[in-house]
Amino acid sequence: MKIQVIQGPNLNMLGIREQNIYGPMKLEDIHKQMEAYAKQTNMEIEFFQSNLEGEIVDKIQESLGVADGIIINPAAYTHTSIAIRDAIKAVSLPTIEVHISNIQAREDFRKKSLIAPVCAGTISGFGPFSYHLAMVAMVQILNEIEAMKKAQNSEQK
């Protein structure tokens, strides 16, 4: 099974920007932790980061037929991007939205996610550990899908 991790704008600045909100950990360190968990669970994982909305949409679309699920931190696009929302909905892959900070405890404009309604769930506010929680959730979702497929196949026989 393969998970596509998509990181939105300014996440390449983790460890530098607003450490009081996002902490000192760099994106590469978060990815290393995710890779370690992926190895433990026999998952393949691929990472992508862009500050450009269209590139994020392209990566979501390219995941169709290649990945089994998506973990996405759309960052600021969470609150503005109908295009990212539509791309997630179009590919119909299990998708988990992740945020390092608790977007519900921040400015009013950050409290509304356009992405959440097309995702299996949202994990927010646990710092970099939010990504680990998303990995655990994705493994569970994909295992449930696999079990349902096996049950359907055995019923058809």
Give the angle subtended at the CA of 48 by the CAs of 45 and 86, to the nearest 5°.
100
Told to judge if 22 belongs to the known catalytic residues of this protein, a careful annotator would answer: yes
Q: Which two tokens stand for residue 31?
A: 């990815």
The secondary element (H helix, E strand) that includes residue 44 is strand 44-49
Residue from 22, 77, 131, 132 carrying the catalytic annotation: 22
Determine the Cα–Cα distance for residues 45 and 42; give it in Å rounded to an integer: 10
Determine the Cα–Cα distance for residues 141 and 149; give it in Å rounded to an integer: 12
Residue from 77, 99, 131, 132 carrying the catalytic annotation: 99
Q: Are 9 and 50 in contact (CB under 8 A)?
A: yes
Told to judge if 99 belongs to the known catalytic residues of this protein, a careful annotator would answer: yes
Catalytic positions, please? 22, 99
